[in-house]
C-alpha cells in the first residue's frame, strides 16, 4: 500500500555516508599527486518537503543540544542552557508557523502539555535523547533506534495521531570564515575570521516517520549573524527559500 506524500519526503534524503567516502577518496587521490587537500564545501541546505506533509499534523520536538566555538566568547549568551534552548525553540517554532502555514505544526510547549497529562505513559519531550540524530547513522535508509523510536510514536499518538515528527537534532555555532580568492590572487591566503565575531549557525533538522521509525529528510540549515539569534533566524529561513 502506497502512502501519499511519502515519496516526496523520502526523495529529499541524502546519502551522507556515500558522500563522505567520495570526499575521502578525492583527498587521497589529490595527496598522491603531490597536491594539498581542498576545503570541503558544505552541502547546500535542502528545503523542507512541505508539499509532502501539507495539511498534516507534525510534532516539532524541542532542541536539546546547542554548542558554540570557544573563540566566539558567547558563554554569557548561551551559558544558561535552559534559556538558550527556550529561545531557540521559540525562533524555530515562530518561523515554521509563519513561513510554512500549510503544515499543522505542534510546537514543543504543546508536546510538553500532552506529556504532563499522561504521566508514566508519555515521555518528557526534553528528555527523549533526540540529539542522537545529530550525526547520521550507517544504516541506509537511516532508522531511528529504540527507545527513541517508540517514544516518538507514543508522543505523536497522544498529541493527536500525527505521522511525522520534525526534530531539531542539534545547533552549533562556528566562526564564519572569509572566502578565499582564486589561485594566484592576493586574496588567495589562509582564510581569516570575518570582523565582529560573525558566526555561522548550523541547525540539523530531521523529519521522522514515527510509525516506521524511518528518517525521511535530513539537512543542515545555515545562517550567519553577529549574535546567536540573528544567525539562527537566518538558518531557519533557509529551510523555506523563496520568501523574504
Reply yes or no: is the peptide bond before residue 124 cis, omega within 30 of 0: no
Q: Do residues 164 and 209 touch, judged by C-beta distance below 8 A?
A: yes
Task: Determine the pLDDT at residue 206.
Answer: 97
Instruction: Identify the pLDDT of residue 195.
Output: 54
Hey, which residues does 199 pair with through a beta bridge?
Answer: 175, 225
Prior bond to 147 cis, omega within 30? yes
CB atoms within 10 A of CB 109: 15
Gap between the Cα atoms of 108 and 122, Å rounded: 14
- pTM comes to 0.77
* pLDDT (0 to 100) of residue 8: 44
Give the separation between CA 190 and CA 225, rounded to whole angstroms: 22
Paired sense of beta strands 66-68 and 199-209, if any: unpaired
Q: What's the average pLDDT block by block, 10 residues per block, for the chain (244 residues)?
A: 44 41 40 46 90 95 96 90 96 98 97 94 94 82 90 95 96 79 42 63 97 95 95 97 92
Minimal CA–CA distance to 46: which of 235, 191, 243?
Answer: 235
Distance, CA of 182 to CA of 168 (rounded, Å):
36
Q: How far apart are CA 149 and CA 207, in angstroms?
A: 12
Residue 136: per-residue pLDDT? 80
The end-to-end CA distance of the chain, in Å, is: 39
- Structure confidence at residue 5 (pLDDT): 46
pLDDT attached to residue 178:
59
Q: Are 207 and 165 in contact (CB under 8 A)?
A: yes
Amino acid at each position: 500500500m502506497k502512502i501519499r506524500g511519502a515519496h516526496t519526503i523520502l526523495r529529499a534524503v541524502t546519502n551522507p555516508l556515500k558522500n563522505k567516502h567520495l570526499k575521502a577518496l578525492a583527498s587521497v587521490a589529490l595527496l598522491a599527486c603531490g597536491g594539498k587537500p581542498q576545503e570541503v564545501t558544505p552541502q547546500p541546505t535542502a528545503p523542507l518537503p512541505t508539499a509532502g506533509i501539507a495539511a498534516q499534523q507534525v510534532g516539532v520536538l524541542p532542541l536539546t543540544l546547542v554548542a558554540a566555538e570557544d573563540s566566539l566568547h558567547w558563554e554569557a549568551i548561551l551559558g544558561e542552557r535552559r534559556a538558550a534552548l527556550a529561545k531557540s525553540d521559540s525562533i524555530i517554532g515562530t518561523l515554521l508557523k509563519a513561513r510554512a502555514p500549510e503544515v499543522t505544526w505542534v510546537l514543543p510547549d504543546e508536546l510538553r502539555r500532552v506529556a504532563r497529562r499522561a504521566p508514566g505513559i508519555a515521555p518528557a519531550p526534553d528528555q527523549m535523547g533526540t540529539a542522537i540524530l545529530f550525526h547520521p547513522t550507517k544504516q541506509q535508509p537511516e532508522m531511528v533506534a529504540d527507545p527513541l523510536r517508540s517514544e516518538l510514536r507514543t508522543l505523536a499518538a497522544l498529541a493527536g495521531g500525527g505521522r511525522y515528527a520534525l526534530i531539531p537534532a542539534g545547533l552549533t555555532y562556528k566562526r564564519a570564515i572569509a572566502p578565499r580568492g582564486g589561485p594566484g590572487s592576493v586574496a588567495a591566503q589562509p582564510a581569516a575570521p570575518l570582523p565582529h565575531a560573525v558566526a555561522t549557525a548550523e541547525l540539523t533538522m530531521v523529519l521522522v516517520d514515527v510509525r516506521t521509525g524511518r528518517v525521511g529528510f535530513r539537512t543542515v540549515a545555515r545562517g550567519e549573524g553577529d549574535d546567536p539569534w540573528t544567525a539562527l533566524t537566518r538558518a531557519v529561513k533557509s529551510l523555506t527559500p523563496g520568501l523574504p
